[in-house]
Amino acid sequence: MKCPYCHNEETQVIDTRVPEDGNTIRRRRKCAKCDKRFTTYERIELSMPVIVKKNGSRTEFETAKLRASLMLALRKRPVSAEAVDSAIQRIEEKLLASGEREVVSGHLGELVMRELKRLDKIAYIRFASVYKSFEDVSEFAEAIQEVKKT
């Protein structure tokens, strides 16, 4: 680890701590050349799978896009920001747990619909109507019947 002050490559770890969340490691370091101290953090770097769209193109997973889709479906619905954050976290965890390097956009859409069904039935219908490209009222009725069953 290079010293941020003098850029010397020889530094010594003088203290290591693991915070309560257990997701990072905090290290206090000391430069062998200038004797200045600094803190570094180690975090797990997880890479989300690439999303393969219907047309075959590939794009990086973006949490901001996922959040925007959920928020659009949940517009003017009584769902807390914490509930949305939890849903996003569950979707991301499922994608990471799959171990796949690429995921088709349809699978991601299904995960979003599953979470919306848990959060708010109206938001689920909104999202499903666009996602599944409903053509007529009977498709809406089917989706509503599906929601009533659960």
Rounded to the nearest 5 percent, the helix, strand and coil shares of the chain are: 45, 20, 35
Flag whether the pTM goes above 0.85.
no
User: Per-residue pLDDT tens for 91-141?
Assistant: 999 998 888 899 999 899 999 999 999 999 889 888 887 766 667 777 767
User: Per-residue pLDDT tens for 64-100?
Assistant: 999 999 999 999 999 999 999 999 999 999 998 888 8
Q: Judging by beta carbons within 10 Å of its beta carbon (0-12, 13-18, 19+), is residue 93 exposed, middle or buried?
A: exposed
| Residue ranges per structural domain of the chain | 11-43, 50-149
Q: How far apart are CA 93 and CA 107, in angstroms?
A: 14
Q: How far apart are CA 87 and CA 116, in angstroms?
A: 8
